[in-house]
Amino acid sequence: MEVFDFDDVMLVPRMCTLESRSQADVSAKLGKRTFRLPLMAANMPAVLDENIAIELAKRDYFYVMHRFNIDIVAFARKMRELDLFVSISIGVQESSYKVIDDLAACNLIPEYVTIDLAHGHTDAMRVVIEYIRKLFGEETFIIAGNVATPEAVRDLENWGADATKVGLGPGYVCSTSIRTGFGTRNWQLAAIRECARVARKVVIADGGCRSSGDIVKAIHMGADWIMSGYFYTGFVQTPGETQVKDGVKVKSYYGNASAVNKQNTHRVEGISVFVPCEGSLFDKMREIEEALQSAVSFSGGKHIADVRNCEHVIVRRYHNIPPSS
């Protein structure tokens, strides 16, 4: 397998067929709905709360509500009352099964359920997917992860997942790869390509993207969607109190497996950092939308998926540089 990451790859432009970049279609379908961007807000308390979920949904952006210290049934009911789509996340603990039972009992069938495990290639994943299908049927679009191998993608799809999340440890505030030695850190883009080659359903690249160009590269390599916390942190709407550090306004950004979120130091695989607090999240979404439209124009296509038709070159600027003779 050829190993590379985002900074190792550049795409080769083709003749533009659009009169204006604004004509490029960068929308993306997920389940029965179509959204403005193939970018989804990660299920992290540091970047998403009920208010942001509502605002994203109103503007046709996809989100995944986190599962920490929240009444998911009440959240689902409120989204339904607002005539907005319901997208939640669960784990595989007994409490998650209770959430599924309670939603079914209240006839609050969510349109999207994300099963969120650090290592999603496990029999516990199979069992919970089957349980969701039993109670919710085909009405619910199931996202399962995280995984890193083609074998895992095939298994999750065969177990009933509609989409798989690819990525172990490449996130900005994730330390799994550092603490365990396992993961897709420094080869996330290659992992996306290997997994997408065998996928029959939706592939979601989770973690590792630091720029709009990285989003384009992930789609080029076969991802249908990108999940990110990084793109959603450090804005006026971001959860948490704005602080001032060395004269700069900042907010805290932390991983789900960090001590901050877990409120203990047991099996910590995430970190906490301060990020600058700058402007509006939705200005950032518009900026990404315009960047993706520009990328489509460079690809010679009309839709964001057309960036897959380009060639790419390996430049290896930072990783995998062979030793000098």
Percent share of the chain, pLDDT over 90: 75
> How far apart are alpha carbons 268 and 257 in whole angstroms?
6
Residue 210 has which token pair? 């630091």
Domain-located, residue 319: no
Query: Residue 309 gets which letter from DSSP?
Result: G
DSSP letter string over 1-17?
A: -----GGGEEEEP----
pLDDT one-digit tens code per residue, 230-255: 999 988 888 877 788 788 888 777 65
Domain-located, residue 201: yes
Domain-located, residue 322: no
Task: Return the pLDDT at 166.
Answer: 98
Domain-located, residue 321: no
CB neighbour class for 254 (10 Å; exposed up to 12, middle 13-18, buried from 19): buried
Sign of the torsion formed by the C-alpha atoms of 207, 208, 214 and 220: negative
Domain-located, residue 32: yes
CA distances from 306 to 17, 217, 292, 313 (A): 12, 12, 11, 17
Task: Return the pLDDT at 294.
Answer: 98
Give me the domain span that covers residue 304.
6-314
Task: Return the pLDDT at 259.
Answer: 43
Domain containing residue 236: CATH number: 3.20.20.70
Is 174 annotated in the active site?
A: yes
CB neighbour class for 302 (10 Å; exposed up to 12, middle 13-18, buried from 19): middle
- 146 preceded by cis ω (within 30°)? yes
> How far apart are alpha carbons 272 and 253 in whole angstroms?
6
Domain-located, residue 267: yes
Task: Return the pLDDT at 324.
Answer: 42
Q: In degrees, to the nearest 5, what angle opens at C-alpha 133 toward C-alphas 127 and 137?
A: 175
Task: Return the pLDDT at 234.
Answer: 85
Tell me which residue has tokens 């990783």.
Answer: 319
Long-range Cβ pairs for the range 308-311 (8 Å, 24+): 308/219, 308/220, 308/222, 309/14, 310/11, 310/12, 310/13, 310/14, 310/220, 311/11, 311/12
What is the distance between the terminal CA atoms of the chain, rounded to a whole angstrom? 24
User: What is the count of structural domains for the chain?
Assistant: 1
pTM of the entire predicted model: 0.91
With a cut of 50, list the residues of the chain below it in pLDDT. 257-262, 264, 266, 268, 319, 323-325
Helix (H, G, I), strand (E, B) or coil at 42: coil
Catalytic residue among 174, 195, 209, 277: 174
CA distances from 176 to 65, 91, 213 (A): 22, 18, 25
Domain-located, residue 244: yes
Domain-located, residue 79: yes
Task: Return the pLDDT at 277.
Answer: 84
Task: Return the pLDDT at 258.
Answer: 44
